[in-house]
């Protein structure tokens, strides 16, 4: 069985993804800096597919498999001084 996103919504700090199997995933927006810094209107422009979420204007793609594995986009806003 393949789990897909049925809907997505946001609050100030999190993205909530409702899945086809009945689960709801809450993930921190800090995991996805493009979404964190986007306007609410930009966040709402999400396209759902069988494999994940896509925001064309933000150049952001998030897989359901990655969310289930607890992965963010791999970038970090923390800067390390040399």
Convert the pLDDT of each residue in 31-63 to its tens digit: 999 999 999 999 999 999 989 999 999 999 999
| pLDDT tens string 1-28 | 589 999 999 999 999 999 999 999 999 9
Classify domain 8-68 at the CATH superfamily level. Uncharacterised protein PF10387, DUF2442 (3.30.2020.40)
Question: What is the pLDDT at residue 26?
Answer: 96
Buried b (16+ CB within 10 A) or exposed e, 45-79: ebeeeeebbbbeebebebebebbeeeebeeeeeee
What is the pLDDT confidence band of residue 80, given thresholds at 50, 70 and 90? very low
| pLDDT tens string 56-78 | 999 999 999 999 999 887 654 44
């Amino acid at each position: 069985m393949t789990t897909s996103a049925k809907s997505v919504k946001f609050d100030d700090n999190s993205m909530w993804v409702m899945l086809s199997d009945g689960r709801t995933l809450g993930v921190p927006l800090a995991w996805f800096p493009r979404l964190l810094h986007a306007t609410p209107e930009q966040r709402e422009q999400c396209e759902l597919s069988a494999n994940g979420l896509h925001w064309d204007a933000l150049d952001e793609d998030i897989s359901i498999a990655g969310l289930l594995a607890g992965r963010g986009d791999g970038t970090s806003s923390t800067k390390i001084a040399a």
